[in-house]
Chain A
Amino acid sequence: MTIDNLQNNLYKEGFVTELESETFPAGLDETVVEKLSKIKNEPEWLLKFRLKAFKRWKEMSEPQWSELDYNPVDYQALSYHSAPKKFDKDEIPPEIFETFEKLGVPLHERDALLGLDTEKPKPDNLIPTVAVDAVFDSVSVATTFKAELEKHGIVFCSISEAVQEHPELVRKYLGSVVPYTDNYFATLNSAVFSDGTFCYIPKGVRCPMELNTYFRINARNTGQFERTLIIADEDSYVSYLEGCTAPAYDENTLHAAVVELVTHDNAEIKYSTVQNWYPGDENGIGGVYNFVTKRAKCEGKNSKVSWTQVETGSAVTWKYPSCILKGEGSIGEFYSVAVTKGKQQADTGTKMIHLGKNTKSTIISKGISFGDSTNTYRGSVKINPGASDASNFTKCDSLMLQDSRALTIPYITSLNDSAKVEHEASAGKISEEQMYYLATRGFDEDDAMNLVVNGFCKDVFQKLPLEFAAEANKLLSVTLEGAVG
């Protein structure tokens, strides 16, 4: 039976699914890490990886440099594993189906889920455009269209499964872009990562459908530590999107994910995120702490990675999807719309590290802030000595309403004279003039605001896969509702 959480009417996804789950007791030490690895039946090398990371984590301390102000996380008060009980991938509890249906995730391709699709003839006009991997709390619930994708040699499954079925690939690439020593949260993640998406696109293959992972945190007082790894081999292409929601609990929930992307020669990965974690109530109680490390390594020549994100949720956000532009001629792009309201705080941006010649990066960041929130763009463009003829274009625009704060903190380091770096920034409010003009055309305040803000975000929304541009627009509208006056 599902219960609608009444704490925050405005956050639609705030409902809770009552489900029997198998949850570790709170606390974190070596035995918890070992237990986690054992429950997943992991090989020795992976357990070693986790333990090395855990040992390192104990020596580290939480970073203090950001503009963020939040209640400290009590790492011993969290549980590091929660999976719905009686869980066998072949027998998915109906409550989970209900949850995802309620969330609008297209999980009801029943045939595909039950593994019956390969035999059944499909009508010609039913070309799947989206394959979904659903992760409920720490466990991947279902992955649709796996069989279809396998025909192309594409691997799209949960990381737990990849460890079993494709251990060589995981071992080769895990930690190759974000080493376990990278930062406090990545190190913690390396020790206790739960599940996530693994994707491998073979040489020359253009993935025929959008790949989509939908994350949902349900259990209280758990940390969610996903690990995603996507590898695009030479001349391949994939477009991937992740969506996230969580219920409206009073306590803070920690989400410390790590995403690693690797592109070989001429390959391209398009990675989009629509994030709507519970933001906390108007007094700043509760809400998800979203501390994520996302990084791409453009290993190959002329390879490309685009990060597109629409962030509207979470109480505190700390993330810098980045690109290491190693291959000659490789391209990194970052398009972001980050909205904060109430007591939300966001410190987000990107790092573009130019190592190879002729590498190019584009950064377009749109920050919208309301109420008491703080919205910080922190970006770094680093041009190494070997990166001749590298170029970067950065545009950061802030839109502030009421008494919110917006900060722009760009770091630019160029160690090569032939490189070109351009930076544009603007900050402003929604002008009364624009609101009046739209009113004379018959738009009420909410609609007028929507139009102005959507126009403001257009450059970024245009980069989202078509299917999700509409979802992002809708999410933005809902987020803006009642934001005026």
Chain B
Amino acid sequence: MLKLKNYSVENVLENIDIEFDTGKTYVIMGPNGVGKSTLIHSIMGRPDLEVSGDLTFMGSDISELPVDQRARLGMYVAFQAPTSIPGLSNFQMIKQALNLKGSELAEHLAKFRDTTEKFNLPKDWDKRNVNTDASGGEKKKNELIQLSLLNKKLAMLDEPDSGLDVDGVKSLVSFLNEWRTQHNTLIVVTHYDRLIYDLNPDAVIVLKKDGVDIGDTDLARRIFSNGFDNV
């Protein structure tokens, strides 16, 4: 699904090699400030990040593609601190993104309301403006609702659990279990041990200042016991 080779992000990460396979779940861990968010936003193509090396998505080199095209190829990022867009309603954004008309519109609105309910968000959520007048936790849930409606093959979630209460985390796990299939790939950046164990990832990737360690949940366990430096 996604392949990084000799991949560097100026001033942040150097010469990383990682492969993400279809149908698998990955967790990215690492000390604060090491570049986890930067990594996933660089994959998304954020214009201010200087990237070098190979970046392949579904077999094609995407290093020259603008962000919106990568999104349309099936890439998604859930923001750590989602951006507010006053005057644009949550459902309107989905409607425009998918160019919904006619009966599709009604179907998607129903699905939207359904998912909103599962996350315990207010009934008029479709009319609320994107990430405006919303609590931190509500904004994080909003990122997941969008994921549920947009057709995505690769979801990169940046600390999706932060800001969620205990029920919120349960909903998150339940949602991700439903979302992930043999045909898509999930990458989750998190510090939260419970979430990692509940997700039971196929691999745990630890970003460190001097490189990358790849292991399984045992690696995560050891980090939680001994810290990043002693592993």
Contact = CB atoms under 8 A, between A and B. Distances in A.
Interface of A: 431-434, 436-445, 447-448, 451-452, 454-459
A455 B68 contact: no
Given A442-B72, A451-B96, 12 more contacts: A434-B83, A434-B85, A436-B46, A437-B83, A439-B71, A442-B68, A442-B71, A444-B68, A445-B68, A447-B96, A454-B87, A457-B87
25 contacts: A431-B83, A433-B83, A436-B67, A438-B85, A438-B93, A439-B67, A439-B71, A440-B44, A440-B67, A440-B71, A442-B72, A442-B150, A443-B96, A445-B68, A447-B96, A448-B68, A452-B85, A452-B88, A454-B87, A454-B88, A455-B86, A455-B87, A455-B88, A456-B87, A458-B87
Contacts of A444: 66, 68
B47 interface: yes
A404 to B, nearest CB: 20
B146 interface: yes
B95 to A, nearest CB: 11
Contact of B87 (A438, A440, A459): A459
A431 B48 CA distance: 14
B205 interface: no
Contacts of A437: 79, 82-83, 85
Nearest to B77: A440
| A interface SS class | helix
Nearest to B129: A455
Interface residues of B, number: 24
Given A436-B67, A437-B79, A442 B97 contact: yes
B93 to A, nearest CB: 7
Interface in B55-94: 66-68, 71-72, 76-77, 79, 82-88, 93
Contacts of B150: 441-442
Contact of B88 (A436, A442, A445, A451): A451
Nearest to A442: B71
Going nearest first, the 3 A-B pairs with the smallest beta carbon separation are A455-B87, A439-B67, A458-B87
A441 B83 contact: no
A450 B87 CA distance: 12
A441 B67 CA distance: 9
A459 B86 CA distance: 10
Contacts of B85: 434, 437-438, 451-452, 455
B45 to A, nearest CB: 8
